[in-house]
Amino acid sequence: MTATGLRQRLEELYFGSDRRARRFRYGLIVFDIVTIAVFLVSSVAGEAWWMIPLDLVIALALLADLVARTWIEKERLRHLMSLSTAADLVVIVSLLLPFFVENLAFLRIARALRLLRSYHLLRDLRTDSPWFRRHEDVIQRTVNLCVFIFIVTSFVYVTQHLINPKIATYVDALYFTITTLTTTGFGDITLEGAAGRILAVIIMVVGVGLFLHLLQAIFRPPKVRQECPDCGLLVHDIDAVHCKHCGKLLHIETEGAV
């Protein structure tokens, strides 16, 4: 196969709309879920001999994907300067350098977040799943909440599990994170060291607010999806009476004043 033919095939897989292209992109999502699962398993497996070879395989696959995406991009410089590319590079470095793998492995979630935000993935889900179309907003907000909890828990775990006997596994870190974000604060697990206390302060000051905002977005969303029959505007304020784009009278079902 020539270089031109290979590039055309890659463009079809990454940007195409046929069934094979959609399956390929879904496969990328499954792969990213596997990378997250590897991180969770590594928190239990510790220094198992197979972790470094597995990380190397994942890193090479991510590198191949990054090279392929860069090759088929028409605006390569813009692609290389994007945050998603920077996230991929951080993930690859964290996997290729065993010395840093413990401290940087949690950043693998950045790649999954980028793909979950991908226009092509959302387009595929809207096309393939009527259930997703009906519940798209709730699904995306729930994913955002889970990603946020995962990232905060990962920070707690990678900074504490070597110095804090009370945070021996990822589950311990998750327990501390949830009790802190929900302001329950049982006090049976605390973060140790100056860095741990600073992290706890950041979680309490910044994390709690973000956590409550994400919860509110799920259970009391500020916007509602209802297409305007005249101009086609899809998203409106939950208490809107008229379409703010064309002024058409809307009939948004509500349960009364909130």
What pLDDT digit, counting tens, does each position of 146-189 carry? Answer: 888 888 888 888 888 888 999 988 889 999 999 999 888 888 88
Tokens describing residue 216: 């509110």
> CATH code for 135-221?
1.10.287.70
How far is Cα 192 from Cα 133, in angstroms, rounded to an integer?
Answer: 45
Kindly list the domain boundaries of the chain, sorted by start residue: 1-134, 135-221, 222-258
Q: Please, what is the average pLDDT of the chain?
A: 80
CB 173 within 8 A of CB 167: yes
Global pTM value: 0.70
pLDDT at residue 119, rounded to an integer: 61
- Residue in the structure block whose two tokens are 């889900």: 125
pLDDT at residue 71, rounded to an integer: 92
How far is Cα 127 from Cα 121, in angstroms, rounded to an integer?
Answer: 10
